[in-house]
Structure 1
Amino acid sequence: MSTKSPADDAVRWLNPDEERAWRAFRRIMVAVQTGTERDLAAVGLSGPDYEVLSTLSERPDHTSTLGNQADKMGWSRSRLSRHATRMEARGLLRRAPDPADGRGCLLQLTAQGLAALENSAPAHVESVRRHFIDRLTPADLAAVEQLAHRMQEPTG
């Protein structure tokens, strides 16, 4: 008796080259993320903390809607809301009602949050260099950028 289901016929399984490439990509992501997050933790921030702070610092008035911020980070609104609550308790950001959406809120970078970002940025950049940039050639960096653009295209 076969354990193969009819749905298995429609699956496009990875060939050995594709499998190796996928696993290599995952190892790269894990290694870079683990290294940079460990280095950020040494200066008192998590990777998500840094992402929230850095993207808010780029916004006019250091403010963004929770929804826009969640979209930018690829998070659900509820996940970001919970994280923002923890960051707010640490004084890194504040929430304010969103005048354009009665159910939404604005996330605003505080002076303390901006100082935390400015204090951690040199260590973060050094970490990114150590775990990623300095390990690649200029051609590798260009290839990564090309891949990133391709991955942002809509799938069909």
Structure 2
Amino acid sequence: MQEPRWLDEREMAAWLGFLEASNRLMRLVEHQLKVDSGLSHAQYEILVRLSGAPDGALRMTELADLMVTSKSGLTYQVAQLEKAGLVERRSCPTDDRGILAVVTDDGRRKLESAAPGHVALVRDCLIDLLTPEQRDTIAVALGSVNDTLRLRARS
């Protein structure tokens, strides 16, 4: 068996910094969305993804892939949004087995009211703390990691 490649001090600092910052940011985002709009972060992301999709609709499997979540986890969140009248589920017209999640007009209004506070928090706790160069570096680096992990997940 091959010996593990342990992280050196700089690698460990990068890993722990990423973990702590991302965990703190996600907790703040979750709290802000719950208090300001009654949405979970996952529900907010569903509304964002659907609102940006053609006709405000995505197949549930595509939505789960975009959100990097399980189908059952997505189904639960969509059911909660459906109960609130923010999303509807419909049969896919091109595939009898497919189900579409569709944002409603109330869902669009909810997103419009939740977005300003969410964006303000993201700016305050991440974007405005970084220089433009740091933002570019993070975007490129995490984009590369994301692309690689997405490919691994499909193979």
* Structure with the bigger percentage of helix: 2
The yes-or-no answer on 1:83 pairing with 2:71 is: no
Q: Which residue number corresponds to residue 126 of structure 2?
A: 132
Matched ranges for 1:86-125 at <5 A: 86-125=80-119
Q: What is the CA-CA distance between 1:79 and the residue it aligns to?
A: 1.4
Q: What is the CA-CA distance between 1:111 and the residue it aligns to?
A: 1.0
Q: Which residue number corresponds to residue 4 of structure 1?
A: none
Say what the alpha-carbon RMSD is for the aligned residues. 1.5
Q: Which residue number corresponds to residue 19 of structure 2?
A: 26
Q: Which runs of 4+ in 1 moved over 3 A?
A: none
Q: What is the CA-CA distance between 1:115 and the residue it aligns to?
A: 0.6
When normalised by structure 2's length, the TM-score is: 0.89
Q: In structure 1, list runs of 5 or more residues that go unmatched.
A: 1-6
Aligned length: 149
Distance 1:79 1:37 in 2: 16
Distance 1:125 1:87 in 2: 21
Q: What is the CA-CA distance between 1:69 and the residue it aligns to?
A: 0.4
Q: Which amino acid aligns with 1:38?
A: H
Percent identity, aligned pairs only, is: 33
Given the alignment, which residue of 37, 41, 46 partners 2:30? 37
When normalised by structure 1's length, the TM-score is: 0.88
Larger radius of gyration: 1
